[in-house]
Chain A
Amino acid sequence: MTDRSMELLKGTLDVLILKTVSWGPLHGYAISRTIRSATEEAFRVEEGALYPALRRLEKKGLLKSEWATTETGRDARFYELTREGKAALRRDVRDWGRYVEAMGRVLYATAPAAA
């Protein structure tokens, strides 16, 4: 974690979670580790904040969960996407793409936009 790591934007955690579990069922710790490594710790997250977010997504019906045994023999709560969750993820990814593209056009512009 560097000093320049960003505060996680509100609402982005949900998308990150959905994307992370889209590869298959994961328990909370695995999700947290995947996000950390994938973003190369660019985001500074209080690790505990992940869990209320998971429960909230489950309540919304985007995730479903089940207690199961991990390969190391521990009990863990595994989350996976529901049908609604998959649809939400597709929607969010599209929105993010547009957002990033729009921001990029402005931030990397080489000449002022035509009035």
Chain B
Amino acid sequence: MRRRRLTRPVLHAVPVREDVARELHHHVEERAMELVAAGWAPDAARAEAERLLGNRVAIESEMQTIERASRRARRRAGMLESVLQDLKFAGRTLRRSPGYTLVALLTLLLGIGANTAVFSVVNGVLLRPLPYPEPERLVRVWEVNPAGDRMGSAWRNFADWRDRAQSFDALVAHDNGGGTISVVAGGVAERARSVLVSRGFFEVLGAVPAVGRDFAPEEQVLGAAPVVVVSHAFWTTRLGAAPLEGLRLNADGLDVAVVGVAPAGFSYPEGTDLWVPMEIFEQTQSRTAHNWRTLGRLASGASITQADAELDAITASFLEVSSAANVDGTSAFWPAQAEVVGLREAMVGNTRRALLILLGAAGLVLLVACTNLASTTLARGTARVRELAVRRSLGAGRARVIRQLFTESLMLAVLGAALGTGLAVWLVRLLPLLAPEGFPRLDQVRVDGSVLAFTVAAAVLTAVLTGLLPALRDSAGELAGTLRSGARGGSGRREHRVWSGLVALEVALALTLLVGSGLLLRSFWSVLAVDPGYVTEDVLTVSISPPAGRYPDGATRTRFFQAVLETAEAVPGVARVGLASAAPIAQLGNGRVDVSQAATPFATGYYQLVTPGYFDVLGIPLVRGRMFDGGEVPDQPHVALVNQAFADAVWPGEDPIGKRLTGGGMDEYYEQDRWATVIGVVGNVRQRALTDDPELTYYFPLGQRLQRTRSMSVVLTASAGPPVALAPAVRQALARVDGEVPLGFSTIEERLAGALTERRFTLTLLLGFAGLALLLACVGIYGVVSYAVERRTKEIGIRMALGAEPVAVRRLVRRHFLGATAIGLLVGGAAALWLTRLLEALLFGVAPADPLTFAAMVLVLAGAAWTASYLPSLRASRVSPMETMRAE
């Protein structure tokens, strides 16, 4: 049987119902005709044909069901097939231009990798909930002085909060765990970090001991025999996971029983080895001794605001119950208010700002990468205009072409994201090496589901940004004109505008990052250039904390430290030795100091107990008066030194020599009203941080004023060579004084570097991002100019044939892009001016709008852009006129 096809397939155009009905109708009609031919009357034939067909309604409904299912299946298969086709085609296209693909993948690898890495840190540190039950109810509480500064809690104030506040299920106090103690277990003395905690500490954090038990109530009373709970890590590594039955250790000279092991991974405050009930020690009743940290669990339904208001009210009542005399002069330490902050926020603290800035910077890098890819893809699209026009003329719809181009971008983005994730995993593993000490919640940083979700989002965004614009543009090109003219690209002018816009955007983004990192770099230099007021090289420091058990009071500790001094001085090779309460960089005790003959009879200052050798070793000059002689004893008239800042602040324009002072709450002689006479003034020292102003400091000689604080630091220099080489000999010698005292060796340089690691961390990352952005921008400009040259080869050839100079040709192809760079610099400069205000808290010694930084970075970027556009323009000026003409 022959047939003629209808002009176009109508299978899918005919609705199922009609399709089925028509087929059966055709059958009946033909059948009736056959019967008529056999001699039936027409009407009877039709009726017979219907009868022979059978139950028409049932047949139709069965056919419709099958047909519908059949059409659905075909549609799905068709879709899958076209997607596969797109993918295959995209893969082939990318393989055909390996240069482009490689650059694009590298760009995406870096852009997405940087973002994934930074986001995994942000996620772990800022977003992931704390690993405690109902973490949103955990808070930290500070006292706030009248000036609005946060302070720790005094025990009495904490106790009042705990007893009176209704907004909390529980409030507990713990100390900052700053002090390391010596722990002797199995005959070996080691340093361990112990924290004193008040009743209910583990319950508040929802920690149930993995082995043993929590403290019993009778172990949490004054004078009870000391017991400890140890961390899981301490128990396994130092105690060999021994059974707790009868397990004892010597902690800080005290014989203690181990009653429990904290759950694995539990470490609050971070790095704690031992928890000790604080109730066994007597607590001062002072309302200004801010020695404790307060941790609370909000009652269910209570908000932070409510809790804050309630504690404010309780805190305000402290002032009323206290005499005015007590308040007088200590207002800087007086609790005026309370501040309640979510625990996670409190732990993250200042790191938050730096991390968000880094995340923003990584985002900018990704934008540069996208812009870069978009411009390269556009340029390629121009070269592909003919290919696409052919595809469209062969019947591919516009949507189909857009989908095809978008598939290419998506494929690149997905590959880039996969590689980037690999990079991020590697970087995150490296993080513990790079991150500054004390970086909060580092253990929470990993590449997990939410990080991968972020990466996927970044990849899709990248595909949209890099693929959609070129796809829309390329697919729009009118067919006939392109095919006829044999043009290599669309209309030049509009083309240039889009490219130039992208170049300008890239330059602007890169400049913003460059300026930001430039400002941080200058800050870093400024910090390094700060004069700390002491020698930073070739000084060895040894921090020493004699155990409280064997050195219970000031007198025994003084004798111990004098022995340490004499022993260290006797070590061969040691040139000079000094002792101080704390060597820089370190915290110092501070408090109220009463002063004579001053405008106000008291001041706030930091104090140090020292031997004369300390100034000698650190090169702190004696500005006037005389130095301690080292032989001071308690029975003589007491003497003191002050630093220049102290003298200037307390006795401005007067001679401080002969004035008198007595230290505040930290000093045992204050209560006895024993005043010390100032005998000299020494140079200023930046003791706690290089970025702070020199502290007001006063010094007492070791041996005369006994102190309550327990640890001191030895500083020493060698007669030849670096003093670090003396560390083993010093350790041996000091072990002869007392073998169970833990020693912490370091150098001033290390301590300074340690104080700079956070700044260095942020700076390094931001510099990396800025460098990346600069590189990407250059690659982008290079690529765009290259394509421009390639596209205009013919025109250039003609111009050269007509006698154009190479210089003029080079200028011709670069003109637009240099103009775009200039616009980008302007826009980027404005954006940077606006954005760098966010950096202000991280800056030191440089203004956010520092003209030098801006100028330098504009020059760097302009130079880079000039070079990136110059190289491809060289090719333009080497075009051979004859060859180009022949090629057409």
Contact = CB atoms under 8 A, between A and B. Distances in A.
Given A46-B54, A75-B26, A55 B63 contact: yes
B27 A66 contact: no
B1 A52 contact: no
Contact of A55 (B10, B53, B70): B70
B66 A48 contact: no
B6 A29 contact: no
Given A68-B5, A68-B6, A47 B52 contact: yes
Nearest to B10: A67
Interface string B1-39: 111111001110010000110111011011100100000
Nearest to A56: B66
Interface stretch (A11-19, A20-28, A95-103): A20-28
Contact of B9 (A29, A30, A66, A70): A66
Interface in A29-88: 29-30, 32-33, 46-49, 51-52, 55-56, 58-59, 65-71, 74-78
A58 B70 CA distance: 8
B491 interface: no
A29 B70 CA distance: 22
A6 to B, nearest CB: 17
B5 to A, nearest CB: 5
Main secondary structure of the interface of A (DSSP, over half): mixed
A33 B31 CA distance: 9
Contact of A59 (B3, B26, B54, B69): B69
B429 interface: no
B59 A32 contact: no
B394 interface: no
Interface string B50-80: 0011111001001100110110010000000
Contacts of B62: 52
A33 B27 CA distance: 10
Contacts of B54: 46-49
Nearest to A50: B27
Contact of B27 (A28, A70, A78): A28
A78 B22 CA distance: 12
Nearest to A49: B54
A44 B723 CA distance: 112
Q: Which of B1, B26, B62, B70 has its CB near the most chain A CB atoms (within 10 A)? A: B1
Contacts of A25: 1, 3
A51 B70 contact: no
A66 B14 CA distance: 11
A70 B66 contact: no
Contacts of A65: 11
Contacts of B14: 67
Nearest to B67: A55
Interface residues on B, range: 20 to 34
A84 to B, nearest CB: 13
B55 A48 contact: yes
Contacts of B53: 46-48
B526 to A, nearest CB: 76
Contacts of B1: 24-27, 30, 70-71
B24 A51 contact: yes
Nearest to B59: A48
A77 B23 CA distance: 6
Contacts of A56: 66
A62 to B, nearest CB: 12
B115 to A, nearest CB: 47
B141 to A, nearest CB: 72
A68 B4 CA distance: 6
Nearest to A69: B4
Contacts of B26: 27-29, 74-77
Contact of A69 (B3, B30, B34): B3
Contact of A68 (B3, B34, B67): B3
Nearest to B62: A52
A47 B28 CA distance: 10
A29 B56 CA distance: 15
A23 to B, nearest CB: 9
Nearest to A31: B27
Contacts of A29: 26-27, 30-31
B3 A51 contact: no
Interface string B495-536: 000000000000000000000000000000000000000000
A51 B66 CA distance: 11
A33 B33 CA distance: 13
Contacts of A51: 20, 23-24, 27, 59, 63
Nearest to B29: A74
B66 A47 contact: no
Contacts of A59: 66-67, 69-70, 73
A33 B29 contact: no
A55 B66 contact: yes
Given A46-B54, A52-B59, A71 B3 contact: yes
Contact of A78 (B3, B30, B34): B3
B15 to A, nearest CB: 13
B25 to A, nearest CB: 10
Contact of B24 (A46, A48, A71, A74): A48
B9 A47 contact: no
A65 B22 CA distance: 14
Contacts of B67: 55, 59
A113 B9 CA distance: 58
A21 to B, nearest CB: 11
A47 B11 contact: no
B63 A52 contact: yes
B77 to A, nearest CB: 9
A8 to B, nearest CB: 13
B3 A70 contact: yes
A60 to B, nearest CB: 9
Contacts of B4: 68-69
A20 B1 CA distance: 12
A32 B6 contact: no
A33 B6 contact: no
Contacts of A78: 3
Contacts of A77: 19, 22-23, 26
Contacts of B9: 66-67
A49 B52 CA distance: 10
Contact of B22 (A24, A48, A75): A75
A71 B6 contact: no
Q: Which of A24, A25, A55, A56 has its CB near the most chain B CB atoms (within 10 A)? A: A55
B27 A47 contact: yes
Contacts of B22: 75, 77
Q: Which of A28, A49, A51, A69 has its CB near the most chain B CB atoms (within 10 A)? A: A51
A55 B52 CA distance: 20
A71 B23 contact: no
A47 B31 contact: yes
Contacts of B73: 59
List 7 A-B pairs, minimum CB-CB distance, nearest first: A48-B54, A59-B70, A46-B54, A55-B66, A29-B30, A48-B59, A48-B53
Interface of B: 1-6, 9-11, 14, 19-20, 22-24, 26-27, 29-31, 34, 52-56, 59, 62-63, 66-67, 69-70, 73
Given A51-B27, A59-B69, A59-B73, 15 more contacts: A27-B26, A28-B23, A28-B26, A33-B34, A47-B54, A48-B53, A52-B62, A55-B70, A65-B11, A67-B14, A70-B1, A71-B2, A74-B26, A74-B30, A77-B19
19 contacts: A25-B1, A29-B27, A29-B31, A46-B52, A48-B27, A48-B55, A49-B59, A51-B23, A55-B63, A55-B67, A59-B69, A59-B70, A65-B11, A66-B11, A69-B4, A71-B1, A74-B30, A76-B26, A77-B19
